[in-house]
Structure 1
Amino acid sequence: MSTLRVAVDIGGTFTDLQILDEATGVAHAHKVPTTPADPSEGLIAGIREACARLGVDPGRIRAILHGTTIATNAVLQRRLPAGAVIATAGFTDVLEIGRHVRRQVYANRAEPRALLVPRSRRFGVVERMRADGSVETALDEASVRAAAERVKASGATAVAIAFLHAYANPAHELRAAAIVQELLPDAFVSCSHQVSPEIREFERTSTTVLNALLMPVVKTYLSRLEARLADAGISAPVYLVQSNGGVTTPAIAGEQPARLLLSGPSGGARAAEVLAAELGEPNLIAVDMGGTSYDVSIVHDGAIRLVTQGDVDGLPVRLPMIEIRTIGAGGGSIARADETGRLLVGPDSAGAVPGPVCYRRGGEEPTVTDANVALGRIDPGYFLGGAMDLDVDGARRAIADRVAAPLGLEPGPAADGVVAVATAHMAAAIRLSLFEKGLDPKDFALISFGGAGGLHACDTAAEIGTGRVVFPRDPGTLSAWGMLFGDVVHDLARSRLTTADAAAVPALEALVAELRAEAEALLARDGIAEADRAFPVTLDLRYPGQAYEIGVPLVEPAALAPEALAGAVAAFHDAHDRQYAHAERHVVPEIVTVRMAATGRLTRPGARPFEAAAGGTRKGARTIRVAGAEREAAVWDRAAIGPGLSVDGPAIVEEPHSTLLLPPGWRLTAHPTGALIATVTAGKGA
């Protein structure tokens, strides 16, 4: 019997699954509501339902790849334990000082800084390392013990230890951690040199604090998940999807949960990169619209972009991650009129419980999904393939009472307004993602997925000025499908500031060898065969005096020659020119950080079999409101649209986990891979 690989993406509203038969390469999609109180319940329920529907034994599951928003949601909702910071004396206010970055530069006052640890729980100890790793002031262990006692008295259960220049020499952090663990055996302790061993005290401290606060959250969840899997008779190993698109073991995830902060969205970005090659579309704007959020990532020249720093709710995270922009604009985003008569949509969401009004779960506030139901764009009897019957009257009533009446509008135009405002938010997020890189939307196709994405994709594309939209197969669970392509990845880094010239080669070679030894040990512990290991190296380079770096690959790092470093320097100049429209090619840049991605290659899915429909016919027609008027729209089952058939808007295309809206002025055709391609035939597609 063939084995199965399961990918699970737990979102704020739905839990998406892809069940891959490893022998045939066939993947099956499934979707169940998320269980916010304990997401592992929904995960187990989804696996059981999917296996029952497919008639397979859960014992055949060989591996579970698990993406989750549990870390992100804990930060956004501030469902975190009380934490404390132990820092070098004189540096306890690093979190509060920050970078003095102001989003509104002309405002009278700076925005309030997000602080997860108040000053009363930040403690200094006597010690000092220099930037070269030498000791300036020895660690005063008595001051560490005094700080630990103050942590205990404060009631904090998570402790972040972030000492000055610990990335260069972690000896003081290691000893301090041992003392804290001895005095506080039940505390969760995180050291900065283990989480983010890089320069920049603020970002390193912020990342370490987030990591410490998330440790009890993620470890508790993983313990529950392990117990539930055992009860369900599933003994397959679990791999957690990281923000960098790779996967890691529960043991690593429990110790470094900050690496999971973009766990779910990274699967969708990885899927878009795979589909770019499959479709012959090297430039894609990937948009994932679920029930709670809207995630934007860019595939440029066939590749997604990794960055070394992001932020979650204004909190810097100094870790490698796929570049993704997330806004609160999903199907569950709440619509309301404010006291000034403005229509607002999001970022707050109805979530899975109670959910939109049409879900019949006690929701009272209208959402984007309710607006689409009220406009007739969603078949209430075919939602989730008929698994959930929607309340159309309830959705219309909520729109009428909470949006139309306060704004003095009829219900139809009010629902139009909800959709238009949500679309404007999505278009703005896409523009930012493109324009900050100097990219033109006209050079890109938009690839839309997520359960709610198909209803807004063409309007969003028209808003940003691109006339081509790709609707991939199984769009409602595409992020889960993308997780099937993840490899085991450990991100290692060492900050060493030096000039990138031939004189730096011996020290650089020694540093790469040190990283390689650590990487080999990690992959051996993961059980990765030597033939399946890879160790790509990246250098973070900058011009002297700059405060930002650009990462470029270092070719042939194992036998480093001056020519290899010179090639990396040339690549840096080219990248700087592309990104900032100038390059100082006569200047020798600085090496700031050396990075190695210890990669254990996992077996990837093969080509997905696709049998095109022959002579498909439409399901029927129904009246919907689109482009500001009531119109009759053809209704198609997606499986009926095969090569050679074209569909003109207005039209609705339905599948079990998603609905696609084709507005007037757009035409839909089928790609040989099974994707559907929408193109503008008139004006801006309106």
Structure 2
Amino acid sequence: MRIGIDVGGTFTDLVVAQDDGTIEQFKTHSTPKDPSVGVLQGLAEVAGAHGLTLDQLLNEVKLIVHGTTVATNTLVERKGANVGLITTEGFRDLLEMREGLKEDRYNLRMASVEPLIPRYLRLGVPERIKYDGSVHTPLDVGALNCSLQELKREGVESLAVCFLFSFMNPAHELQAEAEVRKVFPDAFVSLSHEVLPQIKEFDRISTTALNAYVGPELGRYLGNFQRRIGEHGDESKVLIIQSNGGAAPIEDSIKFAVRSILSGPAGGAKGAAKAAASVGERNVIALDMGGTSTDISIIEGGKPHVANEKFEAGWKIAVPMIDIHTLGAGGGSIARVDLGGILRVGPESAGAEPGPACYGLGGENPTVTDAALVLGLLDPSSFLGGRVSLDVNLSREAVKAKVAEPLGLSVTEAADGILRVVSNLIAEGIRLASVRKGLDPREFSMMAFGGAAGMLASRVAGEVGIQTVLVHPAAPVLSAFGILNSDVQYDFSQSYPMGLEVLDLNEVRVRLKAMEKQGRDRLIENGMSSENIRVELNGDMRYLDQIYEVTVPIPELDMEDPLLKEQWADNFHRRFEELYSYRQSNQEIRLVTLRATISAPLPEISDTKGTHRPSTDFNSSHPVTRQVYMGVWENVSIFHSNEFLEGSKVQGPAIVESEFTTVVLGRGDVAIKSPGGMLRIELGRVQSMEYQGTISLGSDPVTLSVVENRLESIAIEMMDVMLRTSMSQILNSSRDFSTAILDGQCRLIAQGEGIPVHVSALPIAGEAVLKTFGDDIHPGDMFALNDPYNGGSHLPDITVIKPVFLNDNLLFMTVNRAHHSDVGGASHGGYNPSASEIYHEGLRIPPLRIHDKGQPRDDLLAMLS
């Protein structure tokens, strides 16, 4: 017997895997003050279900894999340790300066993110390691000890040590640690060269500070949990899930506590990958929809995509983690009408209290759950396994007052509009998450899980163009299922910045072998078989002058050096082109960081045990029905998931209910019960991602909201590609550029989060192109200008405009404006205090055609460059 545990804000989910392949699901209430209490209550419930005492259960259990939100909650709620920071003299304010960017450029009253460590606890000491690892200034031990005594007087319980270029030479950090231990023998200590031995100083200091901030609280929780388990059984049976989707022993999880932040959604992605693989699906989009948010992850080739950095609660975490795209759209998301008369859903949530209006706990705002209840998609008497009774009249009143009446719609139309908008938000999230990875979501299946996903999965998949939806029998607790199916995994990284052509491959081999040995040793120490250990080697690479890397596989290290470099370069060019649709074969390639993932699988757990029975077709004559709105009100067949045995099939419209989730089948959808209990839904109708019809300002507010979401996601994607591919620090660091979409009449209809002064002038630039070229604008054309008298700002800001046609009709203009460091003015950058005329700033560019029907005008481009 093995048990996977996922602690959430409201419920703690447990999945029990028996040796015969049977999977059991349990839910118990979480206990936020001490989550270990709720976990033990859940384990006691499992024991009771098997007629055992807790001691007997824990003696029978072979393994417990535990996912916890303690680290995440500690950060979000700002309840972490009192941390002191020791850093290189002159760099203590880096934690507050961050990356020099304002998170919301349009919020003039936005306060800066409050530092995790206040300035009086951030102390610099004289020392300096150079970029090549050599010592420039020895560590001043006397100054260090003075700083440590000051921190001791302030009651510091945790310390972070982050010296410049310590990833190239950790000697000073190790020397500092020895002194720290003398003054703080019991303190939690984080060293940056251990937490994140990588280039990019803010990434390293932020991640190290986070580790020191959440580590003590996570340590207290896991120590308490370990002690409680030890009172009843063997505490060594416990592993903790990490944000990379792998598991690690308790002591490693405490030392590198930052790797537990955002570990909950990682379990869901791992569960989706495992569940999909059981029915032969290796490319799936995982859709985890709960009460507050929706988590989207991509599984390609059986593996979830991994990101190497992410912001959480305003702080950068630069460790490998499963790439989760989170949307503020869940069952509790609130629907409202904005001042422009457009229907909005989320990101505000009703939460558990007061919750949706139908809970009867005082909530007055309509939510996605209320809309589903109004439309008959949910059974008010069986919500959450019958633990909660829902009041449909309260839902109708809320939808009527807050959405239907302001928009002049019926209650039914308003409720259906809420589901259309939230489905579109999720569909756009899927498009953005997949397209920015160079992937077409239509080539994937969807794995829907979490309490609310089954209700909207068919609708969302159809909108994206996905043909197949999978719903696992453990869908409501799939994160716990994934936690139980994780590998024991260690991720290592080390920056080694060097041009590929001059790279010392022998040094690369030495560094990678050292990381591999470290991972193998830890796995073997934890009882993993050496024969089952897997090694994955990657390199973070980029073109010269870019600052965002692309992670690519490293070829076999035993190749001859010239062939290895050639294949490595090919891997990078190919992956870059997959992401951004072009490559620069003549550009220098830079290696930035080496990565090694060393893992070993836990003993295989069979999927849910299936029950065999001859194929059965259910149809509309099924005796259990209720009135449901699916375009029209009609009697729809209602099934319980237990009615579906292997080979059972039903055609939509229909609803399949289980204790903790509801699955809605659209008209023409066909659901089949696969071996192992998977519900496989083949959609009867999917939409194309191409243009489908006519949209006008006279369209209904729901349609306008859907179109607006789609256009905004395109503008954001434009900005993301610009950011990650540009070779100017003005653009990729300072982000002095903007992207937007204009309609055919040059009205601004969507924009990325660019520079406000840019965005307001872009429609005028579009009008200047129309005025200059009139009807002489064709598909494939592209225009450039910087003239302030034609919608430009100052001359260094060059605007590029590409018209978009449909059936020879000008429909949109996509626009990009970016600052250039020098456009030929009297002073570099164009800022010339002695300027007396515009030409002193540089070259003044009127609207010019730089691409003619798809062909670049090389002579003109050469002149401009």
**TM-score, with normalisation over the residues of structure 2?**
0.72
CA-CA distance at 1:272 after TM superposition: 2.6
* Matched residue, 1:513: 513
How far apart are the structure 1 equivalents of 2:89 and 2:49? 60
Judge conservation of contact 2:81–2:212 (CA < 8 Å) in 1. no
Judge conservation of contact 1:13–1:292 (CA < 8 Å) in 2. no
76-85 vs 568-577, which moves further? 76-85
Q: Aligned pair 1:621/2:625, yes or no?
A: yes
How far apart are the structure 2 equivalents of 1:83 and 1:339? 44
CA-CA distance at 1:160 after TM superposition: 2.1
How far apart are the structure 1 equivalents of 2:64 and 2:565? 40
2:62 aligns to what SS in structure 1? strand
Judge conservation of contact 1:632–1:650 (CA < 8 Å) in 2. no
- Describe the superposition over 1:454-489 as per-residue Cα deviations: whole angstroms up to 9, x where unpaired: 011122223333343222232111222222221111
Q: Which amino acid aligns with 2:17?
A: L
* Matched residue, 1:46: 42
1:15 aligns to what SS in structure 2? strand
2:166 aligns to what SS in structure 1? coil
* CA pair 662-549 structure 1, distance change in 2 beyond 3 A: same
CA-CA distance at 1:546 after TM superposition: 2.5
How far apart are the structure 1 equivalents of 2:391 and 2:182? 57
Judge conservation of contact 2:462–2:686 (CA < 8 Å) in 1. no
* Matched residue, 1:280: 280
Judge conservation of contact 1:83–1:117 (CA < 8 Å) in 2. yes
* Matched residue, 1:377: 377
* Matched residue, 1:158: 158
Q: How many residues align?
A: 680
* Matched residue, 1:125: 125
* CA pair 124-384 structure 1, distance change in 2 beyond 3 A: same
CA-CA distance at 1:564 after TM superposition: 4.2
Judge conservation of contact 1:484–1:604 (CA < 8 Å) in 2. no
CA-CA distance at 1:638 after TM superposition: 2.0
Q: Aligned pair 1:17/2:14, yes or no?
A: yes
* Matched residue, 2:30: 34
* CA pair 675-528 structure 1, distance change in 2 beyond 3 A: closer
How far apart are the structure 1 equivalents of 2:430 and 2:536? 30
2:265 aligns to what SS in structure 1? helix
Q: Which amino acid aligns with 2:42?
A: G
* CA pair 310-623 structure 1, distance change in 2 beyond 3 A: same
* CA pair 48-340 structure 1, distance change in 2 beyond 3 A: farther
- Describe the superposition over 1:8-63 as per-residue Cα deviations: whole angstroms up to 9, x where unpaired: 12223332221111x31222122233333332232222222233224454131111
Judge conservation of contact 1:644–1:669 (CA < 8 Å) in 2. yes
Judge conservation of contact 1:612–1:674 (CA < 8 Å) in 2. no
Judge conservation of contact 1:9–1:66 (CA < 8 Å) in 2. yes
How far apart are the structure 1 equivalents of 2:360 and 2:106? 46
- Describe the superposition over 1:249-289 as per-residue Cα deviations: whole angstroms up to 9, x where unpaired: 11111111111122111122122323443333343211111
* Matched residue, 2:661: 658
614-623 vs 280-289, which moves further? 614-623
Fraction of identical pairs, as percent = 37
How far apart are the structure 1 equivalents of 2:424 and 2:255? 40
Q: Computing the radius of gyration over CA atoms, which structure comes out larger, 1 or 2?
A: 2
- Describe the superposition over 1:141-171 as per-residue Cα deviations: whole angstroms up to 9, x where unpaired: 2222232244345554433221101111112
CA-CA distance at 1:190 after TM superposition: 1.4
* CA pair 273-160 structure 1, distance change in 2 beyond 3 A: same
CA-CA distance at 1:513 after TM superposition: 2.9
* CA pair 53-597 structure 1, distance change in 2 beyond 3 A: same
Unaligned runs of 5+ in 1: none
Q: Which amino acid aligns with 2:57?
A: P
Judge conservation of contact 1:80–1:214 (CA < 8 Å) in 2. yes
1:535 aligns to what SS in structure 2? strand
Equivalent residues in 2 for 1:347-362 (5 A)?
347-352=347-352, 355-356=355-356, 358=358
Q: Aligned pair 1:7/2:11, yes or no?
A: no
How far apart are the structure 2 equivalents of 1:631 and 1:289? 27
Judge conservation of contact 1:114–1:315 (CA < 8 Å) in 2. no
Judge conservation of contact 1:31–1:657 (CA < 8 Å) in 2. no
* CA pair 556-55 structure 1, distance change in 2 beyond 3 A: farther
206-215 vs 80-89, which moves further? 80-89
Unaligned runs of 5+ in 2: 689-702, 704-865
634-643 vs 224-233, which moves further? 224-233
* CA pair 118-402 structure 1, distance change in 2 beyond 3 A: farther
Judge conservation of contact 1:126–1:139 (CA < 8 Å) in 2. yes
* Matched residue, 2:644: 641
How far apart are the structure 1 equivalents of 2:516 and 2:234? 35
Q: Which amino acid aligns with 1:373?
A: L
CA-CA distance at 1:631 after TM superposition: 2.9
- Describe the superposition over 1:237-257 as per-residue Cα deviations: whole angstroms up to 9, x where unpaired: 211111111101111111111
Equivalent residues in 2 for 1:198-209 (5 A)?
198-209=198-209
How far apart are the structure 1 equivalents of 2:441 and 2:657? 28
1:681 aligns to what SS in structure 2? coil
577-586 vs 336-345, which moves further? 336-345
RMSD: 3.2
* Matched residue, 2:670: 667
* Matched residue, 2:838: none
Q: Which amino acid aligns with 2:492?
A: L
Judge conservation of contact 1:31–1:384 (CA < 8 Å) in 2. no
Q: Aligned pair 1:297/2:297, yes or no?
A: yes
Judge conservation of contact 2:462–2:685 (CA < 8 Å) in 1. no
Judge conservation of contact 1:61–1:234 (CA < 8 Å) in 2. no
1:168 aligns to what SS in structure 2? coil
* Matched residue, 2:528: 528
- Describe the superposition over 1:484-539 as per-residue Cα deviations: whole angstroms up to 9, x where unpaired: 22111111122112333586122122212322332233223323233333333222
* CA pair 455-236 structure 1, distance change in 2 beyond 3 A: farther
Q: Which amino acid aligns with 2:2?
A: R
* CA pair 503-77 structure 1, distance change in 2 beyond 3 A: closer
Judge conservation of contact 2:2–2:64 (CA < 8 Å) in 1. yes
CA-CA distance at 1:341 after TM superposition: 6.5
Judge conservation of contact 1:385–1:656 (CA < 8 Å) in 2. yes
Equivalent residues in 2 for 1:416-565 (5 A)?
416-501=416-501, 504-557=504-557, 559=558, 561-562=560-561, 563-565=563-565
1:438 aligns to what SS in structure 2? coil
* Matched residue, 2:215: 215
* Matched residue, 2:800: none
How far apart are the structure 1 equivalents of 2:567 and 2:24? 45
**TM-score, with normalisation over the residues of structure 1?**
0.90
1:116 aligns to what SS in structure 2? coil
- Describe the superposition over 1:396-451 as per-residue Cα deviations: whole angstroms up to 9, x where unpaired: 55556666677776654454444344323322321210221232232222221111
CA-CA distance at 1:297 after TM superposition: 0.6
